[in-house]
Structure 1
Amino acid sequence: MSRTTKNGLIPRVPAALLLAAGTLLAGSGVAIAEPAVPPALAGLLDTASSAGSVAPVADAPRLATVDNFRDVAGTGAGYATPRGTVHKGVFYRSNAIVPNDADLATLSAVGLTTAYDLRGPDEIAQKADRLPAGVAYVNIPILAGNVNELVARIHSPEDARQEMRKMNRDFVTGEVERAGFAQLLTSLAETDGAQVFHCTAGKDRTGWTSYLLLTIAGVDAQTIMDDYLLTNEYTAESMAKTLAYLRQTQGDAVAENFGPLVGVEASYLQAGIDQLTADFGAVDNYLTTGLGLSTGTIGALKAKLVG
């Protein structure tokens, strides 16, 4: 960063903390305590008991060391669509999958077949995935641009918010990003069994992927936005520890300026949605024209989600 402090020193924000605007804990060694059940989900946890005689798929387990691991379909009966509820146990989303032994055992019981890592090499070097035995690992980097340049542009909280909005717009306009999402969605459609996709914090690249899947399924816009914002509840404790770490090591000003990178705000996802609408008119056109997906691939995804 080019900005100096009162004593003339240039505050140094470790690049590993800022990779992809979602890696502020990468390599920090900050312990993550087990998060509480998000209040927004409390009323949904017991709804499965009224779903009928067919045994429902269990909610995604809460993991202490992978705190943003969750089912794309939501909890309880799953998110509603005009064609029925979204199928649970098919697609999972997550932050970096670096579980402790207890969480690894819990994750093993989920029955995953494939994990898609959307991070770049520098992020992976900080936190390499630790997957259950037998789970295939696929790396699909989805991020263009230079992290150091991003850091240099942030001098205020609003600068950070602008960078997050730009990232989501790039998911629509960027060739590297579109190619990555096309590869990911095609793989999700063609691969059997339960699958998980993730980035570092499980909120930006992962959040956009979830937005696309839930839109394909027919989930309403408000529910999709509410799901996107659940990151702030699932990771509330780790976000607080990230900010505390930044204050301790970089000072209050840096923590304040970079704070908006840690969580999500509605305007971030909305920026991508608005760009998609401006460039393609509708998600279907983005999928076919922007990503080059076939109608067969989109149909396969829809069948997995609600078919």
Structure 2
Amino acid sequence: MFVLPTVLARRKRTAAALLVTGGILAAGALGPVAAADPVQLPSLGSAGLSIPGLGSLMPQPAATPRLASVANFRDVAGTDGGYVTTTGRHLQRGVFYRSNALTPDAADLKTLEGLHLRAIYDVRTDQEVAQAPDATLPGVKYVHIPILAGDLYAAAMAVRTPEEAMKFMQDMNRSFVTDAANRAGFEQLLTDLANTPGPQVFHCTSGKDRTGWASMLLQSVAGVPEATIMKDYLATNDYLAAQNAKTYQSLVASKGQAAADALKPMLGVDASFLQAGLDQIKTSYGTVDNYLTAGLGLDQSTLAKLRAKLVR
């Protein structure tokens, strides 16, 4: 099992919360970064998963709100008319939302209630949840699906250079493919998203790594082009820019310049993070399609339900 180091003493909780808020998620080394050709994200609609007539004709909802206290809250389908698929169709907005931890202020809580969410999927570890529990939304089902395990603070503190931080993040994305427990978590998440009616949101701590991977999978199921998927993944750096700048300055003050610079790559995302996981898919399964079916164990019915929700 892909496990982060054991829990530290409660006296380190404040520093741990700071690091987790900044998205410093790291794990033990899984070996050197292997050079590989960028994997081609297949259009699943043209790779054996095409189900004619399943696209929704629902009207697009109003623009997804930007939340002041939940900075990385956004729609998996993108903005405006929704991302365009390789077949020229559009993703349906207002179905699946992605986010960082749902700890909104009063104004943002009211906005979230107005989205009529049916379910919240929290993929953080037990320790992350204990440090910053999600807000309770009336009538919304809360489902905890832990992906990754262990003490994120201890893992972060093992990093000594920016290069090590980059490698840790790349290794984490590889573990979404190689680690059975992580694959089981993503399988449960996608299955629940497929079978639960109404708008839903899934999130980790900063909404960028585990959440970014799940978003990539949903967009791949819908047939979104690989360039669009990567652009959406990297948009985290814009959404979290202000928050990450504050976290970085806090790290400088508490840990010193050298430590802050070493940890800085963990605050945002880099194309190499997602690409490392995609390259691992190519090595282990050949295609995203095979990863979804052979790796996660999703059946064609579940994938068809997801595509029906995602594409209009």
Please indicate the TM-score interval, normalised by the length of the shorter structure: 0.7 to 0.9
Residue from 237, 245, 264 that aligns with 1:240:
245
Q: Is the 8 A contact 1:22 1:261 kept in 2?
A: yes
- The RMSD of aligned alpha carbons is 2.0
Residues 61 and 246 (structure 1), Cα distance of their counterparts in 2 relative to 1, 3 Å cut: same
- Which whole-Å CA distance do the structure 2 matches of 1:59 and 1:92 have between them? 12
**Residue in structure 2 matched with residue 223 of structure 1 by the alignment:** 228
Aligned pair count?
268
Q: Does 1:173 align with 2:178?
A: yes
Q: Does 1:15 align with 2:20?
A: no
Can you give the 5+ residue segments of structure 2 that lack an aligned partner in the other structure?
A: 1-12, 26-57
Residue from 198, 201, 206 that aligns with 1:196:
201
Q: Is the 8 A contact 1:70 1:94 kept in 2?
A: yes
Amino acid at match of 1:147: L
- Which whole-Å CA distance do the structure 2 matches of 1:234 and 1:198 have between them? 14
Q: Does 1:95 align with 2:96?
A: no
Q: Does 1:253 align with 2:258?
A: yes
How high is the TM-score relative to the length of structure 1?
0.83
Deviation at residue 144 of structure 1 after TM alignment: 3.7
Secondary structure (helix, strand or coil) at the match of 1:93 reads strand
Q: Does 1:61 align with 2:65?
A: yes
How high is the TM-score relative to the length of structure 2?
0.82
Task: List aligned pairs for 1:93-132, cutoff 5 A.
Answer: 93-132=98-137
Aligned-residue identity in percent: 53
Residue from 72, 75, 83 that aligns with 1:71:
75
Amino acid at match of 1:15: A
Q: Is the 8 A contact 1:116 1:196 kept in 2?
A: yes
- Which whole-Å CA distance do the structure 1 matches of 2:117 and 2:156 have between them? 36
- Which whole-Å CA distance do the structure 2 matches of 1:218 and 1:226 have between them? 15
Residues 224 and 120 (structure 1), Cα distance of their counterparts in 2 relative to 1, 3 Å cut: same
Q: Is the 8 A contact 1:156 1:256 kept in 2?
A: yes
- Which whole-Å CA distance do the structure 2 matches of 1:13 and 1:261 have between them? 18
Secondary structure (helix, strand or coil) at the match of 2:137 reads coil
- Which whole-Å CA distance do the structure 2 matches of 1:102 and 1:179 have between them? 35
Deviation at residue 56 of structure 1 after TM alignment: 2.9
Q: Does 1:272 align with 2:277?
A: yes
Structure 1 runs (4+) deviating above 2 angstroms are: 12-21, 144-153
Can you give the 5+ residue segments of structure 1 that lack an aligned partner in the other structure?
A: 1-11, 25-53
Deviation at residue 21 of structure 1 after TM alignment: 7.8
Amino acid at match of 1:64: A
- Which whole-Å CA distance do the structure 2 matches of 1:152 and 1:243 have between them? 15
Amino acid at match of 1:300: K
Deviation at residue 179 of structure 1 after TM alignment: 0.5
Deviation at residue 148 of structure 1 after TM alignment: 5.6
Secondary structure (helix, strand or coil) at the match of 1:84 reads coil
Deviation at residue 132 of structure 1 after TM alignment: 2.2
Amino acid at match of 1:100: D
Q: Which has the higher contact order (CA 8 A, sep 6+)?
A: 2
- Which whole-Å CA distance do the structure 1 matches of 2:272 and 2:284 have between them? 18
Deviation at residue 145 of structure 1 after TM alignment: 5.2
Residues 106 and 20 (structure 1), Cα distance of their counterparts in 2 relative to 1, 3 Å cut: closer
**Residue in structure 2 matched with residue 212 of structure 1 by the alignment:** 217
- Which whole-Å CA distance do the structure 2 matches of 1:127 and 1:242 have between them? 16
Q: Is the 8 A contact 2:71 2:100 kept in 1?
A: yes
